[in-house]
Structure 1
Amino acid sequence: MTSLSRRSFVTGLSALGAAPLLPKHSHADGTQAVLRATTSTAQLTPEGFPRTDVWAYAQKGAGSVPGPEIRVKAGERVTRRLLNELPQSTAVHWHGIRIDNAMDGAAPLTQDPVPTGGTFDYDFVCPDPGTYWYHSHNRSREQVARGLAGPLIVEDVEPWLGLPGAATRELTLVLDDWLLNEDGSIVEGRWDDLHAAAHAGRMGNTGTVNGQSFPGFSLRPAERVRLRMINVATDRIMPISLPGLSSTLVALDGHPVAPRKLEVLELAPAQRADIVVDAPVTSTEMTNLVVDTGRGNQVEFASFNIEGEPVQRSGEDVRPLPSWKTLPTLDLATAQNQPLLMEGGAMRGMVEATYQGEKMDFRELTSRGMAWAFNGVAHGMGEPMFEARLGRTVRMEVTNRSAFPHGIHVHGHHFTVLSRNSVPDPHKDVRDTVLIQADETVEIAFVADNPGKWMIHCHMLSHQASGMMGWFKVN
């Protein structure tokens, strides 16, 4: 495998100066905008390297990586006509939004993929404030890796920025990793790499924040800023640290949490976190956003330059975000219990599983491109894993009997993390994607209050494509 030099991966040769804010396009007045899925180029590597051919979203002009930021207030509608200018069919999933089933974009379950030259009209309400994103949900392992992802920000109806204890401004940080050749081009021809899929997935060798290699962001001394962080990588789990910045977690996957101090933030693919950072009270040269890429390799993805006039701040505790007030109450006493067993992958494998209605041993499964299974079924899209009555609480015991972690995403719902390995979770965080470590059992629960057919899958997209996919039905 070819790779860029460590210097270009770690620091991008030099800080690139202040990164531009993501373009914002709000259409809260109900007028429909066109969201094009198109070919484009992006400067993913430092200046002086060639630009990279990507697939990207665009509203006006050329496509950008990440796609244009879509921003509305809670309760407002998003209306976008997807126009597919790509050589493959595609669809858009609005990740984390508790959405009407027909708008979920989960091809082929909720809609047919949109063919080249075709269109599809998305029109839905965003009920809950928070940090979300949108991305391709057809051939996702390839299309997301080529660049089809963008931020979707749903603002609080109640004001928060500028209040006592709150931040004074915010930054959206979209973190990604790319598998590139030395000339900056995307590594082709390995989209169906079963060896990678049976391990941790397709890992990149070049990190970006907001589509740039090692961008720089300016903070004033003592300034309090809200960072909306999104991991859009296809497979890489990102343990993130912000040395030199006092960090407080205020939301996970869009849902507010009671503010708590944070040393390391572990973001699985598709997960988001809102972090309030306090800059040092005196100017320093620079501090960095650092990602642990494994084996002690601490990679600097971005810099924060502490400069300018100090901010006068009274030192209040971080103000909590407004509560959602929209989630139904769990009824665990009468919950429908649904086990989810994850098996397969390298170093463990599995004795057998059912694929396309036929029971196969592990060798035959891998010959069909399958390496993982849910409850003994690989890529079980023929029949639902279970059905739940509308309004019923579903309790899921999710067991990872494999040698690798998995980020399990439930469409159309947010769930509460109840316990890990039978130990009650102290925070009871509400999420749409939960990271489950090897040999770990995590208990989650949600109210099945959204009718339709809903996918549940691993958001390590290599794992999803090679078996870790199913769905359930809410009647």
Structure 2
Amino acid sequence: MNRRQFLASSAAMGLLPRSAASASPTYRLRAEDVTGQILPLGDGATRMLGFNGSMPGPELRVRQGERVRVDVENGLDEGTAVHWHGIRLENSMDGVPALTQTIIEPGDTKTYSFVPPDAGTFWYHSHYISHEQVARGLMGPLIIEDDEPIDVDHDITAILSDWRMERDGTLIEEYTDRHSVAHAGLLGTFARAFFSRGEVKAGDRIRLRLINAATNRIFPVVVSGASGRIVALDGISLSEPRDFEQIMMAPAQRVDLILDVAADVKLDMMSRQGPYELGTIAASGKNGLRKATPIAALPAHAIPVPSNPDRHLTLHMMGGAMGGRHGGANIWAFNDISDLQSDPFAYFRKGETARITLVNDTSFPHGIHLHGHHFYEVGADGSIGDLRDTTLVNARENRDILCTFDNPGKWMLHCHMLSHAFGGMRTWVEVT
């Protein structure tokens, strides 16, 4: 990776206006060609994809439990679809071609309407040839607001990603390189964070919402210039805030922090060559009114811990470089099968609980994402751990998850290293 340091400042991700004519919030997203400033100001701009003229797309903010309508217009010369990542929504609104909808053809508009049940940090992105369209910029933040405001001075979103580009900012239009697909996935040559706000005061208490929107890169993040605790993972609040030193984020994972600002708040990605600056929120001036208080837990979520599972299944990750042979027809496979098939990985009755052992028999880590549900990670000692929608399983390791399948429909289950999904690591489940 080129270790040029990126400027901290970036244009704020704009909030779309709500429609005054509708009883529920209505937004419009237009997928289109855009020019983005990925490199520092003064360096080359990048021709890419985005929503409403920007990359990342506009920040959507919706109240918990309130129905939202999003009209997605396709201004591209190819099809697209939008997935609302981490939202436990109606199946027909999940945004997955071949499972829940047809693609949005060029010039067409599709209306998505759903009620988000959980407050927290989520995001939206293309789910059609997503290994390419997300890499080219079809992504944006989706924030589900709490019923009661959290006591912070600023609520800031940070989208982390990387891009494979030339030094002048031109995207390298190669998304299916077999060597990359068979290894860690297509990794960018430049990385940075986009902040919804670029300046705070020393003494401020901020909520910092980190979203890993990269197609394949795992971000080991270190925060300096502020102290605080982790309060939520993948949009779901922790029962107790957690201390941290380094935050490991697989693609699609989110981490919410409550931080007390002491100086410029800097995000660094730790690499073999040392810290790589992703971006900085500048501290200017002093907040003399804020009094230091303990960081409290966010409001509790409403997802119960499952009882004893009804079934125990195994999802075996196979293939890739330095991996063993498998029966699938692509580079990667689950249980000897590559890509979506006519039959699902499993059928579940609504309300059925399953313990699924994720076996990573490959030489690379995988971030496994289940649509339409959250699941509990299970510790090696059998203890119930964090509630997530995407779990990172390291090479040659196993992880059990525990999920109550209470959302009817056909739901995708795949590696969110999108090069690996393209290479065959995707399946689905059906809940009836």
After TM superposition, the score normalised by the length of structure 2 is: 0.95
Q: 2:225 aligns with which of 244, 252, 261?
A: 244
2:275 aligns to what?
Answer: 298
2:138 aligns to what?
Answer: 148
Taking the aligned partners of 1:116 and 1:40, their CA distance within structure 2 comes to 16
Taking the aligned partners of 1:287 and 1:314, their CA distance within structure 2 comes to 19
2:241 aligns to what?
Answer: 259
2:342 aligns to what?
Answer: 382
Please state whether the residue corresponding to 2:293 is helix, strand or coil. Answer: coil
Cα shift readout 1:149-174 (whole Å, capped 9, x = no counterpart) = 000000001332x2xxxx22210111
- Contact 1:247–1:263 (Cα < 8 Å) also in 2: no
Question: What is the one-letter code of the residue matched to 2:345?
Answer: M
1:22 aligns to what?
Answer: 13
The equivalences for 1:255-404 within 5 A come to 255-257=236-238, 258-280=240-262, 284=263, 286-292=264-270, 294-325=271-302, 327-332=303-308, 334-348=309-323, 350-355=324-329, 370-404=330-364
- Tell whether 2:93 aligns with 1:115: no
2:192 aligns to what?
Answer: 208
Taking the aligned partners of 2:67 and 2:269, their CA distance within structure 1 comes to 35
Q: Cα–Cα, structure 1 residues 453 and 216, in superposed 2: closer, same or farther, change >3 Å?
A: closer
CA shift for structure 1 position 216: 8.3
Q: Cα–Cα, structure 1 residues 30 and 304, in superposed 2: closer, same or farther, change >3 Å?
A: closer
- Contact 1:26–1:70 (Cα < 8 Å) also in 2: no
The equivalences for 1:422-433 within 5 A come to 422-425=380-383, 428-433=385-390
Taking the aligned partners of 1:159 and 1:49, their CA distance within structure 2 comes to 39
Identify which range, 219-228 or 428-437, moves more after superposition: 219-228
Please state whether the residue corresponding to 2:113 is helix, strand or coil. Answer: strand
Q: Cα–Cα, structure 1 residues 271 and 31, in superposed 2: closer, same or farther, change >3 Å?
A: closer
Please state whether the residue corresponding to 1:463 is helix, strand or coil. Answer: helix
Cα shift readout 1:422-461 (whole Å, capped 9, x = no counterpart) = 3345x71100000010111111111110001000000000
Please state whether the residue corresponding to 2:327 is helix, strand or coil. Answer: strand
Question: What is the one-letter code of the residue matched to 1:441?
Answer: N
Taking the aligned partners of 1:85 and 1:433, their CA distance within structure 2 comes to 30
Taking the aligned partners of 1:37 and 1:71, their CA distance within structure 2 comes to 19
Q: 1:411 aligns with which of 354, 371, 388?
A: 371
Please state whether the residue corresponding to 1:352 is helix, strand or coil. Answer: coil
Question: What is the one-letter code of the residue matched to 2:334?
Answer: F
CA shift for structure 1 position 31: 5.6
Question: What is the one-letter code of the residue matched to 2:46?
Answer: T
2:214 aligns to what?
Answer: 233
Taking the aligned partners of 1:288 and 1:33, their CA distance within structure 2 comes to 32
- Contact 2:121–2:142 (Cα < 8 Å) also in 1: yes
Q: Cα–Cα, structure 1 residues 31 and 140, in superposed 2: closer, same or farther, change >3 Å?
A: same
- Contact 2:164–2:187 (Cα < 8 Å) also in 1: yes
Question: What is the one-letter code of the residue matched to 2:360?
Answer: N
CA shift for structure 1 position 305: 2.6
Identify which range, 252-261 or 216-225, moves more after superposition: 216-225
Q: Cα–Cα, structure 1 residues 31 and 299, in superposed 2: closer, same or farther, change >3 Å?
A: closer
- Tell whether 2:203 aligns with 1:222: yes
Question: What is the one-letter code of the residue matched to 2:210?
Answer: M
1:49 aligns to what?
Answer: 43
- Contact 1:220–1:311 (Cα < 8 Å) also in 2: no
1:6 aligns to what?
Answer: 3
After TM superposition, the score normalised by the length of structure 1 is: 0.86
Cα shift readout 1:195-235 (whole Å, capped 9, x = no counterpart) = 00111011111112228xxx983232222110011010000
Cα shift readout 1:251-294 (whole Å, capped 9, x = no counterpart) = 000000110111111111100010011112xxx5x4521012x3
Taking the aligned partners of 1:234 and 1:142, their CA distance within structure 2 comes to 9
Alignment size in residue pairs: 428
- Contact 1:241–1:290 (Cα < 8 Å) also in 2: yes
- Tell whether 2:127 aligns with 1:132: no
Taking the aligned partners of 2:168 and 2:215, their CA distance within structure 1 comes to 21
2:403 aligns to what?
Answer: 446
Please state whether the residue corresponding to 1:456 is helix, strand or coil. Answer: strand
2:172 aligns to what?
Answer: 187
Please state whether the residue corresponding to 2:297 is helix, strand or coil. Answer: coil
CA shift for structure 1 position 296: 3.8
Cα shift readout 1:343-380 (whole Å, capped 9, x = no counterpart) = 111112x223133xxxxxxxxxxxxxx21110110113
Please state whether the residue corresponding to 2:92 is helix, strand or coil. Answer: helix
Taking the aligned partners of 2:72 and 2:110, their CA distance within structure 1 comes to 5
Taking the aligned partners of 1:247 and 1:344, their CA distance within structure 2 comes to 40
- Contact 2:31–2:49 (Cα < 8 Å) also in 1: yes
Please state whether the residue corresponding to 1:464 is helix, strand or coil. Answer: helix
Question: What is the one-letter code of the residue matched to 2:98?
Answer: P
CA shift for structure 1 position 26: 5.4
- Contact 1:65–1:210 (Cα < 8 Å) also in 2: no
